[in-house]
Chain A
Amino acid sequence: MKYLSRFIFISMFIFSISTSKCITFSFGDKKVITSEEIQHAGITRIADILLLIDNWNLSTIDGYTWLANANNLSSYQGQNWIVILDGQKFDLNSFDVKILNFLPVTIDQIDFVEIINTPKIYKSEFTEKGIIHFHTKRPEKGFSLQVYQMGGNITGEPGPYEGSEFSTPDIQRIGRDASYSFDYKLNNWYFRTYFIRHFHPFQDIAMIKRNTKILEDPPGNGSRENRHLKLWFEDTDRPKMLRNSLSLRVGKENKTRINELQIDYSYSYRYFLFFKPIGREIPVNDFYTRIGISGNPFISDNLTYRFQYFLKELEKHPNALDFDFKWRSHNFQGIMEKSFMNSFFNGKIGIGYDRFILDTEYHLEKDYFDMYRLYNEIKFNVSKKIYQNLNGMLLYSNNKTALKGSIINFWEINSLHSLNTVLSYSQRLFEEDNSLWFWTEKGYNILEEYNVEYTVSKNIDKSSQLTFDIIWKTAIKNRFIIKLNSVYRNFYDTYIERQSFEFNPQDGSFSSPLHIYAGQNGQVLGQQLTLTYWIKPQIKQSFYYSYQFEVGEDEIFKETWKSIPKHKAIYKITYSPDLNFSIWAKLSYLSSTFWIDYKDIDGQTYYSSNEINEKYYSTVESTLILDLQIQKWFWQRRLSASLLLRNVGDQDFRYHPIGASFGLTYYIQLRLFLNF
């Protein structure tokens, strides 16, 4: 592997002197989701956008926080896919959970979303685990105001039967989420501010039970906190989360340059963080502040800079376990990038610096780490119809280096057919994961304090991966597009967590010792087919099918990968007979998955009554789900109303063995756009 990585690096610089004309299109597997698609598809929160990425597999426990497997670049362990908002990377991880809904942006401000599914350099990051980049709309001249309101409900309330022999547990409403955005633009200057509020109550009986038990503050105890919360929560004893965030953007733009100052503040009150080592959710108050600047300095249009400071804290929320993460982190990031173009090739070269500091009560061997990066990307064409992109990155931290690089070829076979190949090799430092295990090694002794038994089979060192993708695409009369992807992934020296949970029926919690198997290898092969067809300009339909399977001899790796569906099929249709009216439907099939960590809870009853007898199973059964949305605009597209139905067939459907069951759910969304 060492030789291969050197080969990629050296070849990149050798090829950079090849002769060619300049090219600007994108290489590799990229998906773009437009604001129109987002509105048609009934997206209620930012993280729901993940549901529109066909080749990302998803799992969730609470319906608010999503685990993603981006185009088979990782399993659900190691949520290291990257989130970028207008060029700035956002660290939304709390241990191995990435909370995309904490991104400070409203749905209606999104112009488009770029998803990079194959490894390459993108916005100074190497996309070895996938990237999702949210681009916001540019403010329009004058004043503009946007208001968004959303409310939903999972069906299955006891209704009038409550109190009778047919009574069943009560189910709470979803949300009453809201966002308000205000823009002002005068000449080249603009100002934007927005406020976002999320309400997320748990709907699932088992989750309500285990999370009600852990909340220390019982209903109506008269405490000052409870009186205050009554305004927001109505019944404070039910496990619910409230998130408020406020953001500010000030910038100056002209034809070639944009310089922007960004300030974000987010406070999530009583977020139930699923902390896998102890097998349950812990209520925390998650808080972050971010200050960033980005743009093009006046000395050169080809130079870009991005700097940001990120302060994050997991503040203790009163809980029965008295669990306190004692986690406060400071992160500084700086990037300088220069793009170049001549008659032979174009590309960019950049440098970056990261410092991460952990402020905790635990005594750490070293409470920070620095990371330096140097990267380069070159695009040119080898012949008239073959274009090539060579990119590489050198990363340095704590006296260790990691090399990352990829070679991407784009062959325009003829006007109908094209072929894309992506070969990548990347090493990954332990520091890059910035995980619980990295900090545990440095002395963050939270597991010992809360008596979690854990063992590590051998030292965790840098891991690596080799990937190969081949993508064939054809377009027939621009109405019918066929895309066929083959993917190969080979992971080396990766570490895998393994637990064997037991269920505690008293409080609905789970417990298990934890073992980390370091130095694991594994391979994955997959095939994906996408068909897109416009029956008429008003009707677009698409079909997606993927099949993936793990190969090799490493049982630990293979068992972990069984939590990813082998088969996945999605059919989507959008019908817009008029600009101001649309119907959207999505039918998805996911094959069954097996979760090895939960094999000992098979058949355990978590809720029993005259009417309901619910049990846990380590196998999540295959599902077929139909989602449907109807949207109508009013008042010359100033006002919009939509009705979204998820799981129309009301299947007993879940993404995770101990996660919520998502029955038929309906959402109503209202939007108001005013320009002065």
Chain B
Amino acid sequence: MFLKKLLFVITLYILILVFFQCTCLLYADRIQAFSSINAGLQYKLNTNRNSFHDFWKHDIGIKGFIETPFYFGCIQAGIQMDSFLRINYKVYDFQTVNLYVGWGKKWLLPYNFKCFTGFNIGNALMIFDEEKNQYEDQYNIEQELRTGIELYFSIPIQKKMDIYLTESYSVIYTYHRIRLNFISVGISYSFTTPKWFREFMK
């Protein structure tokens, strides 16, 4: 037991060190930070199946985000909305509204293609169908921590516009974890950050 924990400590220590050493090598770029904004909209499709899907099926999902260069890598902030319909009558329909922030690194590929890998963290608001509120003396809103990892490819279609293809995996930290995998497609538009917004971010 102790050895297991010791191994866990050593692994975590190495991971933390590697992470910070890596970011240290990435020189903090204060000039480029917040210089441009990339805003996008995506349509989401749930692709995985687990015990959660014995109770609900994913109906509609959309995601809106903005992305800007950070001191190293890029930061993202956005909102994701998903609707889940019950397939088991012991539970209720619900929608999730997830406000999140994330960080990742963008890699340039041939032909101006770009690839992004990163993670995000947010608060998932679960809004239940009014039916639940009517029959139970409970709140019709719950909130929970949600984390995710993301990989996307962007293909330029115009100077400032890109098409996105995203693969993402997220976990909502309810007692029984809700693990969801999504494939999304969407479009984004890039522009120079307004001066007031850049000043605000700094």
Contacts and interface: CB of A to CB of B under 8 A. Distances in A.
Interface stretch (A437-445, A515-523, A534-542): A534-542
B144 A153 contact: yes
Interface string B140-183: 00111100000000000000000000000000111110100000
B202 A636 contact: yes
A160 B84 contact: yes
A578 interface: yes
Interface stretch (B41-49, B57-65, B85-93, B186-194): B85-93
A536 B24 contact: yes
A246 interface: no
Contacts, number: 115
Classify the interface of chain B: helix, strand, loop or mixed.
Answer: mixed
Interface of A: 153, 155-166, 168, 170, 173, 535-536, 538-539, 569, 571, 573, 575, 577-578, 580-581, 585, 587, 589, 611, 622, 624, 626, 634-636, 643, 650, 664, 666, 668
29 contacts: A155-B174, A157-B144, A159-B126, A159-B175, A160-B128, A160-B142, A160-B178, A161-B174, A161-B176, A162-B142, A163-B91, A163-B92, A163-B136, A536-B24, A539-B24, A573-B20, A577-B23, A577-B72, A578-B33, A578-B71, A624-B8, A634-B200, A634-B201, A635-B199, A643-B101, A650-B173, A664-B145, A666-B145, A668-B123
B91 A611 contact: no
B132 interface: yes
B5 interface: yes
Contacts of A573: 16, 20
Contacts of B115: none
Contacts of A155: 144-145, 173-174
B175 A157 contact: yes
A157 B24 contact: no
Given A626-B12, A635-B200, A578 B172 contact: no
Interface of B: 2, 5, 8-9, 12-13, 16, 20-21, 23-24, 28, 30, 33, 55-56, 71-72, 84, 88, 90-92, 94, 101, 121, 123, 126, 128, 132, 136, 138, 142-145, 172-176, 178, 199-202
A33 B133 CA distance: 48
A113 to B, nearest CB: 26
A266 B33 CA distance: 45
Nearest to B20: A575
Nearest to A580: B202
Nearest to B175: A168
A587 to B, nearest CB: 6
A577 B28 contact: yes
A165 B90 contact: yes
Contact of A159 (B21, B28, B101, B174): B174
A636 B199 CA distance: 8
Given A161-B91, A164-B55, 7 more contacts: A153-B144, A168-B176, A577-B72, A578-B28, A581-B71, A624-B5, A650-B173
